[in-house]
Structure 1
């Protein structure tokens, strides 16, 4: 029997309160019919005996205390799913906004997902190539991993997100089975247009499922956006056998929406006003990444969050760091100096990297090269600190070599064009060429056989490049002199 409950007891921000409700369930969806006949949706977020609190997705503006009709639907929030969902654009609550009509679902799934049994989890292996040297070489993204990007307000994390979505791929034989789920939360209209236009112009929209929640959309919709996106990712990965990369930006906007919603419910605030359950709420999203035994697909997460005042101890990056398997940190000073992408190498890491690189995955020298580049760049920081005290002229010859290495490393390895897509072999070869700036005896993380196999050829390549550059300069100079003589 279907019952309509007429009238509401209270209205408080995005919440309405109803009394004398029978057989209600937590997270159950309700339909709300207003005086003018329009329909809104909500979900039950609190039950106290026969009193329920309903979170209204579209907001409570225009809702009447006396004539509003509320109907319990008997199921939680569900996302319609179908193989044709690829290439579609949705709003934050999973409604199509691309003008192509509704999804005709093969099935519907609860957006809250179901926990993955730890026993059936597979350990993440193999890597995802992003085409960005710093990420691919030094903090490799592994299939099934959750690897956040810690950014700051005004930095180029949106451009980086688009570049990764455009360039990301897996091994050639499986790349046709690879797709992106992109969720943007609390973004301005121009940023949303930038994401959409970038995917359309690069021709990858057909392998992307987009969720766009705008800054002026209701905060309740923002809380649903990552859940809808992850539900789609789980369907594509675990039922259709695809490898899915989920890019979510900006998780700080999500957490702030959660804080506002928690405050409207009158819950006791925790650190900086965030609810005490922020950790478990973020974990309920991040832990939906992974691989399942017997299922060919995988869900990999790349959440992006902005750190207020670049503070890594802020609750959102702090708790995210506890849940995820590493981080990619963007550096404000590199960004200010014009380096793109401004990846800060030393505080960045990928904890699962060691099991998805090397022989059979990338190249046998990957691990030792990454270790040596980390060690050399750490000595660059020490040399720069010393130079700031005594002056660069007073440094030892070895420290001056490290200063030059650091400059070349940032200009040639860290920095690359937003449209430059480097293969893993190109990135590794470039790393070896940069190490030729240092004396061979300084490479204490590399075995003699790898030095002979990769360092020596890199020295020859660098000499050849320098000779060609010198020849081109001389030819250009001769041409200018000949033209002047005429």
Structure 2
């Protein structure tokens, strides 16, 4: 490209990882070759042996261009020169990336061979034309009972896991990735420590799904800008697999609060006027541009996004979860190591429950939650030393079984087995007439007690 021949040497200032360079404005009738998001190489003239710094255009203000460096500005002088590459960040796309792990800059970090002259695609492209979208109608099974039974994950859905630091949300995300019935899993990690990255890779490998998984990982020690690129890389690759290969792709992102914090850090360096709690004013738009990549493509595959959003101080009104809730189609609340059946919601579950799942799914879901709510009330009566009826004691027993058999995220069951276990749990605590369910379903699925059991109950 012609812009590779142009070298700009007037660096105005260096602040943190931001370099501001003077670029003469184009003459009348000319069009600038420099675009927002384009890559640039910064050559340090004081050390000719040092490889060029990689940077990205993050602001253009008349004849002043701001660059975010990928590897920091240590050792960089104002005598350096800048060459613009004329294209935004690209990521390698081919079947050979499956089973591989890459950094936020697209470099292999798994010790495997370089990919060589594989095809490159641009990241952060436009969202799909709504005409090409299909109404969600297929379920992604995760083998997590609290999701599959009570809040189904539906293809093309975008849904976060709301949690707090210290909760096992990464374990839950890894379990879903290991058991989900998707064709391809694309993992994007932001601000991870090495142990987290190793945990995910080992979990996928032990489950036998690593060969259909591609990972993009930004570790806490990596440059901030790489954390901003991870979601775009993951989603660009997911879109290509869905559109060109017709694959059902599940994208796992953790942690989107780390992504928002990276946006805030760059905004501070750019001296942007902060908005709510110091976050950038267009936080909603930045998050929406990523989440809206979820889509069921007409005549092709689908992209489903499941992300983690940590809530500082367990505050759901924090700007990141607050904005996320307006964009996504529900949420899973993870606290105390379990998925809360009351705070969790999947707004698309009605498209699949009872339509692509078993006929008793809807009834059993409502009945289990109803009895669990009653069990919580009975537990409060017990804690306040009120007298308990025999029915209250059965409710409390049901609550314990529900927590143990379904709410624990370590539980892994196929949907049909989980539904059968629901019926078994109900039968252990209640009579058939107490369920208030359709008689046809009760007669078909409610376990028949043996004579000994019936006599003991009587």
Equivalence for 1:259: 264
Looking at structure 1, the residues matched to 55 and 318 of structure 2 have their Cα atoms a distance apart, in angstroms, of 31
Equivalence for 1:471: none
Q: Secondary structure at the match of 2:76?
A: coil
Shift, 1:430, TM fit: 0.7
| Partner residue of 1:442 out of 425, 434, 441 | 434
Matches within 5 A, 1:268-347: 268-295=273-300, 297-332=301-336, 335=337, 342-347=338-343
1:203 aligns with 2:199: no
Shift, 1:7, TM fit: 4.0
Closer, same or farther in 2 for the Cα pair 1:466/1:426, shift >3 Å? farther
Q: Would the aligned equivalents of 1:126 and 1:357 in 2 still touch at CA under 8 Å?
A: no
Shift, 1:466, TM fit: 7.8
Q: Would the aligned equivalents of 1:162 and 1:195 in 2 still touch at CA under 8 Å?
A: yes
Matches within 5 A, 1:35-434: 35=45, 36=47, 37-66=50-79, 68-104=80-116, 107-169=119-181, 178-295=183-300, 297-332=301-336, 335=337, 342-359=338-355, 361-389=356-384, 391=385, 394-415=387-408, 418=410, 421-434=412-425
Shift, 1:105, TM fit: 5.5
Closer, same or farther in 2 for the Cα pair 1:113/1:438, shift >3 Å? farther
After superposition, what is the alpha-carbon deviation per residue over 1:23-70, rounded to whole angstroms, capped at 9, x for unaligned? Answer: 22111111112233312211111111111111111111111101x121
1:27 aligns with 2:41: no
Looking at structure 2, the residues matched to 260 and 59 of structure 1 have their Cα atoms a distance apart, in angstroms, of 14
Q: Would the aligned equivalents of 2:13 and 2:78 in 1 still touch at CA under 8 Å?
A: yes
- The answer for unaligned runs of 5 or more in structure 1 is 171-177, 336-341, 468-486
Shift, 1:370, TM fit: 0.9
Looking at structure 2, the residues matched to 135 and 351 of structure 1 have their Cα atoms a distance apart, in angstroms, of 12
Q: Secondary structure at the match of 1:94?
A: coil
Looking at structure 2, the residues matched to 21 and 124 of structure 1 have their Cα atoms a distance apart, in angstroms, of 50
Shift, 1:245, TM fit: 0.6
Closer, same or farther in 2 for the Cα pair 1:465/1:374, shift >3 Å? farther
Q: Would the aligned equivalents of 2:8 and 2:22 in 1 still touch at CA under 8 Å?
A: no
Closer, same or farther in 2 for the Cα pair 1:319/1:452, shift >3 Å? same
Q: Would the aligned equivalents of 1:413 and 1:430 in 2 still touch at CA under 8 Å?
A: no
Closer, same or farther in 2 for the Cα pair 1:380/1:21, shift >3 Å? farther
| Partner residue of 2:443 out of 430, 437, 452 | 452
Q: Secondary structure at the match of 1:4?
A: coil
Closer, same or farther in 2 for the Cα pair 1:349/1:81, shift >3 Å? same
Closer, same or farther in 2 for the Cα pair 1:466/1:162, shift >3 Å? farther
Q: Secondary structure at the match of 2:252?
A: strand
Q: Would the aligned equivalents of 1:82 and 1:104 in 2 still touch at CA under 8 Å?
A: no
Q: Secondary structure at the match of 1:46?
A: strand
1:12 aligns with 2:8: no
TM-score, length-scaled by structure 1 = 0.86
Shift, 1:202, TM fit: 3.2
Looking at structure 1, the residues matched to 453 and 53 of structure 2 have their Cα atoms a distance apart, in angstroms, of 67
Q: Secondary structure at the match of 1:281?
A: helix
Q: Would the aligned equivalents of 1:28 and 1:44 in 2 still touch at CA under 8 Å?
A: yes
Shift, 1:440, TM fit: 3.1
Looking at structure 2, the residues matched to 256 and 464 of structure 1 have their Cα atoms a distance apart, in angstroms, of 63
* Structure 1 vs Structure 2 CA RMSD: 1.9
Equivalence for 2:28: none
Q: Secondary structure at the match of 2:326?
A: helix
Looking at structure 1, the residues matched to 367 and 375 of structure 2 have their Cα atoms a distance apart, in angstroms, of 12
Q: Would the aligned equivalents of 1:80 and 1:105 in 2 still touch at CA under 8 Å?
A: no
Closer, same or farther in 2 for the Cα pair 1:9/1:453, shift >3 Å? same
Q: Would the aligned equivalents of 1:80 and 1:107 in 2 still touch at CA under 8 Å?
A: yes
Looking at structure 1, the residues matched to 99 and 318 of structure 2 have their Cα atoms a distance apart, in angstroms, of 36
TM-score, length-scaled by structure 2 = 0.91
Figure out how many residues of one structure are paired with residues of the other and give that number.
440
Shift, 1:162, TM fit: 1.4
